Amino acid sequence: MSAPILHASALTKYVGDQPVLNALDWQVRPGQVIGLLGRNGAGKSTLLECLLGLRECDAGSVTAFGEPVTDLSPGARARIGYVPQASDLFEWMTAYQMLAYFEALYPRWNGARVRQLLARWGFDAVMCNRPISKLSGGEKQRLSIIRAMAHEPQLLVLDEPVSALDPVGRRDFLRELVDDVIEHGTTVVFSTHIVSDLERVALDMAFLKDGKIALQGGLDALLENARRVSGPAALLAPLKIDGELRRTSAADGQVHVITGAASAALLALAARAPALRLESLSLEDLFVAVTQ
C-alpha cells in the first residue's frame, strides 16, 4: 500500500479550554477523493488548516508528502492546492495581477488551463482588470478555485469551495472537478455542508464528531451497509449490534439503532423476528445519525 499523502497522529487543537480536535488520527492516501462532513463548529476548517500547517496544533503531529507540515519544503508546498472557506485573495490586485504573481511561484503553472477556466467562468478582460475587492463573493470564490487548480496540484484541499456559488456555478465547478481533476488521479479532500455535492464527486466519506473521525468509508459501501434498526425495547435493549453508531428510545417503547455495518447475523435475526425493522439510509440520514 502506498504511503499516505497526509498523516495526522494524535492531532489535538484547543480553542480556549475546549478540544476542537481531540487526539485525532487520520490518513489520506494518494488518489483518494474524500468528502469531509461535520456539523457547523465541528472543526472541519481547523482540521484542514492543521493538516496543511496553516494553524499550529497543540499536540500530535502531521506530515504531508512525508514531511512535517511545520517545515514543508518548497517542493512539497508546490504539490498542494488549497481553497479556504474565507477568501484570502490579494484584493488590492486585479485578477490578472494576482494570477501572474502566483504563476511566478509555481513551475507547473498551466497558463492555458487558467485562460480556459477564466473564459468558461465568465472572467472577461474587463473583469480581470478590475480590483478583486470589487468582485462579488461568487466571483472571488471562482477565482480562488482557479488559483488553486492552476499549478495542477497532487493534493487539492477544498474548504466549503462552493458556499458562495449559485446552483449553476456549483454545477460548473463540480463538472470541472470530476472531469479535469479527479480523472487525473489528484487526491482531493472536500469539505462542504451540501451533502448532494459530495454524493456527486466523493468516493470516500469521513465524518468529524467530537474532535475525531467518527466514521470513514467508501460512499457506496457505507450506503449499502448502513441501516436504521427499529423494534421493541424488549428485543433491542439487550442486543449488541456490530457497528452501532447511535441508539435512541422513543416514548412508544420502540428503540432505534443506527449501524454502519449491517452484519449477516443482524439480517438473519430480522428475517426471524417480524417486529424488527431494517431500513436503508441516505447519506443525509447517515450524516445526521453519526454527527448528532
Whole-angstrom distance, CA of residue 175 vs CA of residue 192: 16
DSSP state of 85: S
Picking from 201, 205, 287, the residue whose alpha carbon sits closest to that of residue 245 is 287
Q: How many CA atoms lie within 13 A of 177 on its CB side?
A: 29
- Reduced to 3 states, what is the DSSP secondary structure of residue 44? helix
**pLDDT at residue 1, as a whole number:** 59
**pLDDT at residue 80, as a whole number:** 95
Contact 290, 246 (CB under 8 A): yes
Maximum pairwise Cα distance, the chain: 70
Q: At a CB cut-off of 8 Å and minimum separation 6, what does 288 contact?
A: none
DSSP state of 69: G
pLDDT band of 50, cuts 50, 70, 90: very high
Whole-angstrom distance, CA of residue 279 vs CA of residue 198: 22
12 - beta bridge partners? 59
Strands 6-15 and 59-64: antiparallel
Residue 196 has pLDDT above 90, yes or no: no
Q: What is the pLDDT of residues 118-143, one digit of tens each?
A: 998 889 999 999 999 999 888 898 89
Q: What is the pLDDT of residues 142-195, one digit of tens each?
A: 899 899 989 999 999 999 877 777 777 777 777 777 777 777 788 999 888 778
Whole-angstrom distance, CA of residue 125 vs CA of residue 122: 10
Picking from 63, 291, 87, 42, the residue whose alpha carbon sits closest to that of residue 191 is 42
Considering 100-114, 171-185, 252-266, 275-289, the range whose residues carry the highest mean pLDDT is 100-114
Residue 61, C-alpha cell as written in the block: 503531529
What is the end-to-end Cα distance of the chain in Å, rounded? Answer: 34
DSSP state of 110: -
